[in-house]
Amino acid sequence: MSDYPFYHSHIEIDLQVLCNNARYLHRNLKSGTHSAAVIKADAYGHGAVEVARIIGDLYDMFAVANVTEAVALRKAGITHPILVFGVPVPQTVKAYPEYDLEAVISSDDHFDLLEQGTSYHVEIDSGMGRLGIHPDEMDRIEKRIASAGRISCKGIMTHFASADEGNSAYMQQQKKVLKQIREKFGGKYPLHAANSAASLDHPDTHLDMVRHGIALYGYDPTPGPSNQLQPAMKWRSWVAQCKFIHKGGSLSYGATWQAPADGHYVVIPTGYADGYRRNLSGKMPVSIEGVWYPQVGRVTMDYIMVWLGDDRYDAGTNVVVMGGDRNHAGLWAEAIGTIPYEICCGIHTKVPRKYV
């Protein structure tokens, strides 16, 4: 930490919004359906420990990508069950019993690798083509589970590749495999498959537990009619300088933007080194005291410029660079052809997270 703790921008997380999203997502679950909050990648950039503390009452379990993330939660005092999606490796197997973490077995060798007393879920690859055991192997896996008395099976899981594309042919194909999984393991072990999109759009996949990620943070994974989800994240910065520019004068690298008239602009100390993506140059508005202004010229490493026209603001005035109804992470993603997941995870960890 610097001797002068002072930040050019910070991420503000609205905990009330987060809880509202979580409650909304639970509304269409049958009673008895369990739920896991997916808080990998530092809760999609929202801060895993704080998010875990605030939504713990609404979820039965947390899920993270790897043991490092899980241990950090335990060290912060989080006591909920934690499922680790990633593969167990020799370097991490001792952590599972030590920190009471649940493993995911996605290949045969993991049965031998896990330490005595470890709880695990088996992942079947029903079509995602990432981790998991091929569905043709289910008979053998069932026997393997039965004979692995040192470790205990807590669930069977799978993951959808296209739950956000309605009832696409691919989704139907995965649902067929899911049916085989149910026939084989249903009633014997808890089954879980649904991510946010499936939880919202495919109630037939809820099974014994759903796994909520992106929707919890307020982004609808499915394009179409909006629901009650709200982005929990706002990125705040402030005015470093307010300057005059003549009509025709240009701003930033490449001099790609010219002032349409005499007027003022502000320099805001947030740039691509913080995660304000350079290919958003000139695409998103920012909000200053409730008024929208266009970001103009190229995004630089540590600054963006914003055109005010006839308005002016004092240095130090607060600015929302991301997170309002016209510039939240979902709109950023649309503007540059990516997904809100990548935008949220892409905000640099040096940008402090604050909670309201």
What are the helix and strand counts (H, E) for the chain?
A: 11, 19
> What are the residues binding ligand PLP (CB under 6 A)?
38, 40, 85, 159, 195-197, 211-215, 221
Across the strands, what pairs with 233? 13
Q: Is 313 a catalytic residue?
A: no
- CB of 195 or CB of 300, closer to ligand PLP: 195
Beta carbon of residue 156, minimum distance to ligand PLP (angstroms, whole number): 13
Cα distance between residue 38 and residue 192, in whole Å:
13
Pairing of strands 119-123, 152-157: parallel
Minimum distance between the CB of residue 159 and ligand PLP, rounded to whole angstroms? 4
Which residue type sits at 158? T
- Concerning whether 176 is annotated as a catalytic residue, the answer is no
Q: Which is nearer to ligand PLP, 240 or 345 (CB)?
A: 345
Q: Which residues of 225-261 are buried (b: 16+ CB within 10 A; e: fewer)?
A: eeeebbbbbbbbbbbbebeebeeeeebbeeeebebee
- Residue closer to ligand PLP, measured from CB, 85 or 96: 85
Report the candidate in 43, 93, 52 with the shortest Cα–Cα distance to residue 75: 52
DSSP-derived secondary structure for 156-179: EE---S-TTSSS-HHHHHHHHHHH
Minimal distance, residue 347 CB to ligand PLP, in Å: 16
Q: Which is nearer to ligand PLP, 123 or 274 (CB)?
A: 123
- The shares of helix, strand and coil residues in the chain, as percent rounded to the nearest 5, are 30, 25, 45
Q: How many CB atoms lie within 10 A of CB 81?
A: 16
Could you tell me the smallest distance in angstroms from the CB atom of residue 71 to ligand PLP?
Answer: 19
Q: How far is the CB of 195 from ligand PLP (least distance, A)?
A: 4
Task: Select which of 75, 143, 243, 253 is catalytic.
Answer: 253
Beta carbon nearer to ligand PLP, 159 or 234: 159
What are the CA-CA distances from residue 323 to residues 104, 151, 236, 255, 313 (Å)?
Answer: 34, 45, 9, 28, 21
User: Which residues are known catalytic residues?
Assistant: 40, 253
